[in-house]
Structure 1
């Protein structure tokens, strides 16, 4: 057992909707060839680490990314509903321009003041943060002393980063967007608070 717990929090590879500039939310679109290459790059970056277990969003793009990363490993994979991307309701599948035209006030909130974002049929960032942090804290609690792979999504990772760095949700725009296939490492010494975040 390690004297610390590492969560390697990976964003899925590029999808067709990513390439088209469409908001995905909880709808599915398939990995592009670029996305599969990005997942393979993440696999290479993680080869130096033993991975003891994986927790993955149920959305297909995250599952497909995890399969590429883990294809040469015998690792238990747990599908976790709480690791889904933010539910964007009527915006899913739409471009930024389309969402700005249909909901100008909520568009401004989403990109500038996400802590105030409210859209009928969609999640708030507070709701997203609540479920994501609960899932990650549960992993830290139950998987102490292990290296854990988590494959998830854009706003999930940004919101988790904000929580663990005590960054207000309204300052999400100041957190760099995680690139497709890139990951951050959440590191916690056993029995202590989060000790380090590394962006890789």
Structure 2
């Protein structure tokens, strides 16, 4: 069985990233910085020998993928299974708004337990199952090839945890910058949780741009909200 290489890209910056809002499934477009990140990413991707491009169907991912698709003359296949975690009733809210309107849900969120979900939302366990299944499907369909996958920060967190053998409890531990470059390998689509990380959070193509909004869940744990 041939190893499949996936180049995973988080979408570029949105205004809601700057405002530290829970975006989830809400279809938020890139801001000007996000479009510049996508442009630079496209120039970098021109060096890659990829055969396919698969993208979350949300606008912020499609807009991030567009320059790369143009550079490589690749069609964009949309896949809703690559969407961000669904946060239900709190989508579009900042941390302080969730604390005020859904105080119990916020307290539970700070425990970072895999079976917890925001009201009407998706738990980390459900989200993980969805993302790993989506990547397995891509690897199965394109064995031995290189596939570009444009997705979301939460999805990349699921990949990192899986590859490092971490559980789904606890806050995020990896860097996941907007428009960052990540490369993984899946040797056997039947065992998609056996992931090899080749490169992670590479932002050399964004080196001289302003600092990004930082998503640091660990700061929530000590009572210092930073991002969502």
TM-score (normalizing by structure 1): 0.89
CA distance in 1: counterparts of 2:46 and 2:164, whole angstroms: 27
Instruction: State the 1:53 CA deviation.
Output: 0.4
1:198 equivalent in alignment to 2:196: no
| Higher relative contact order structure (alpha carbons within 8 Å, sequence separation ≥ 6) | 1
1:182 pairs, out of 180, 183, 195, with 180
CA distance in 1: counterparts of 2:146 and 2:95, whole angstroms: 37
CA distance in 2: counterparts of 1:171 and 1:64, whole angstroms: 31
From the superposition, tell whether residues 101 and 197 of structure 1 become closer, same or farther in structure 2 (CA, over 3 Å): farther
Within a 5 Å distance, the mapping from 1:13-32 to structure 2 comes to 13-32=12-31
Partner of 1:120: 119
Does structure 1 conserve the Cα–Cα contact (< 8 Å) formed by 2:84 and 2:154?
A: yes
Instruction: State the 1:165 CA deviation.
Output: 2.1
Within a 5 Å distance, the mapping from 1:95-110 to structure 2 comes to 95-110=94-109
Larger helix fraction of residues: 1
RMSD, aligned CA = 2.0
Give the secondary-structure state (helix, strand or coil) at the position aligned to 2:172. Answer: helix
Partner of 1:43: 42
Partner of 1:161: 160
Partner of 2:135: 136
Does structure 1 conserve the Cα–Cα contact (< 8 Å) formed by 2:4 and 2:187?
A: yes
* Consecutive unaligned residues in structure 1, runs of 5 or more: none
Partner of 1:54: 53
